[in-house]
Amino acid sequence: MNWSIAVQMLVLTGLSGFFSAAETALFSLEPLQVEERTRGRSPWARSLRWCIDRPRTVLLAVLISNLGINTYYAALAGAWMAEAQALWPIVFLASTLWLIYFAEIIPKSLALGLSGPYASFASPILRVWTRILWPILAPAGLLLRYLQHRVARSPARPPLLTQEEMQELVAQKPERFGLGKRSALLIGEIVESAGILVSELMDSLVDLGQLAPDASVAEARQLAFARGLSFVVLVDEDQVVGIVDTRSLLPAPADQPLSELVVPIPAIPELARLSHLLELFREKRAERVLVVDEYGASAGIVSWDDLLEKLVGELVSVERETTELPVRQLGPRTWELRGSLGLREVEELLGLSLQRGRNRTIGGWITEQLGRLPQRGDSVHLAGSTWVASDVQRGRVLKVTVEYLSLPLSEQKGDGA
């Protein structure tokens, strides 16, 4: 056997395994893993973000590279079979199985279990290699776009309804979807909750009890009992090292250092979504999660009990909303409207015409007029009337107070009759 051929085949197997594993690791990353590993300004974080932002180009580079490697490998295997003469079937079977196992099955299986670390390791290499192959990738990309355009039976059309418009339609006409008003409002609130950021749910570290790891149990007891805390945060040089549950302080000796009672706490980026937070709670089976900012500094803590209280409390407030009247007259010239009330109903009730946009509810109309997410107390002035967002939760207008300088047109017509 020619040892030069054997060495070349081993090198090609390693290269093919690298690209196969990189493809599997890169395209199996979960959103939370991407957020964690692209945070910061390290070369690995920047390269991983570059690859994630260009999936088609990187995938083409990997496929073309593997195609070239495997073609060269097949040529070397053919030369080896020619030397083997009568034993060529054995050489063919051995070289094929070797490539399948060590360039496909094993690398991809390992990369699937180590997708995060391997993607970070491989991304700088893929970034440089993709740029080297750019003269080859550019024509291939243009050809793919042309074929995709020709094969597609019809051009892609935007959805007839956006997510916000669909939510408004379900809220206004729940019977068309086989839902009651109560169910429609609860479902709408659950859908909106999916967009909540972790930073909106956390308790800031400033508001929590903090001690150094070398503090004693006696100090922790005094702090916890004075402020009614369920846990104490241990901070060392502005970094949270863990927490100590108040329950563990009771049986501990008064002079015992807190570092011996500390419990590690998992971390999550403050820009992660609620779904990522719930998944982390489920995986780690933790009672509390540390929230970190984009630079890795500790920002706050989210506890499971507080999370449930906030979410369930909002659902209860929505359920309570269904039992309230959609319109209440607070005075001769003042009305309170539910934010989910349709614009057409408001126009019929108050005898006026509102400028229509994309939104179909009075709460959405207020948001559209402001041109930003509303806050409690924001107002819009219209034709002798003031429209105030009197109750707002996370940018959603729940109640609107309308105050007229004179009686509304509908009241004037009624008085004239």
139 contact partners, CB below 8 Å, separation of at least 6: none
Q: Say if residues 377 and 389 touch (Cβ distance below 8 Å).
A: yes
Structure tokens at 33: 């893993």
210-211: strand order across its sheet: 210-211, 231-236, 239-245
Whole-number pLDDT of residue 71 = 92
pLDDT digits 0-9 by tens, 28-39:
888 778 877 887
Q: How many residues does the chain have?
A: 417
The two three-digit tokens of residue 19, written as one number: 């690209």
Instruction: Say how far apart CA 336 and CA 353 lie, in whole Å.
Output: 18
Reported as a single tens digit per residue, the pLDDT across 174-187 is 666 566 666 666 55
More confident residue, 178 or 247: 247
Map tokens 């910061």 to a residue.
40
Tokens linked to 171: 């809220």
Q: What is the pLDDT of residues 207-230, one digit of tens each?
A: 777 888 889 989 888 888 777 788
Give percent of the chain with pLDDT exceeding 70: 79
How many Å apart are CA 209 and CA 231, to the nearest integer?
8
CA distance 344 to 326: 13
pTM above 0.85, yes or no: no
pLDDT higher than 50, residue 417? no
> Mean pLDDT over all residues of the chain?
79
Q: Let me know the angle formed at the C-alpha of 181 by 176 and 186, rounded to the nearest 5 degrees.
A: 110
Question: Which strands form 396-404's sheet, in the order they lie side by side?
Answer: 327-331, 334-338, 396-404, 385-393, 379-382
Pick the CATH number of 325-404 from 3.90.199.10, 3.30.1240.10, 1.10.101.10, 3.30.465.10: 3.30.465.10
Does the 198-310 domain belong in CATH 3.10.580.10? yes
The radius of gyration computed from the CA coordinates of the chain, to the nearest angstrom, equals 31
Core vs surface per residue 350-388: b (16+ CB within 10 A) or e: bebebeeeebbbbbbbbbebeeeebeeebbbeeeebebb
pLDDT in the model for residue 158: 55
pLDDT of residue 281: 82
Looking at residue 97, its pLDDT comes to 92
pLDDT of residue 112: 86
b/e for 185-224, b at 16 or more Cβ within 10 A?
Answer: bbbbbeebbeebbbbebbeebeebbebebebbbeebbebb
Alpha carbon distances (Å) from 309 to 62, 289, 315: 48, 16, 10
* Sequence ranges of the domains in the chain: 3-151, 163-194, 198-310, 325-404
State residue 21's pLDDT score: 92
| 68 pLDDT tier (thresholds 50, 70, 90) | very high
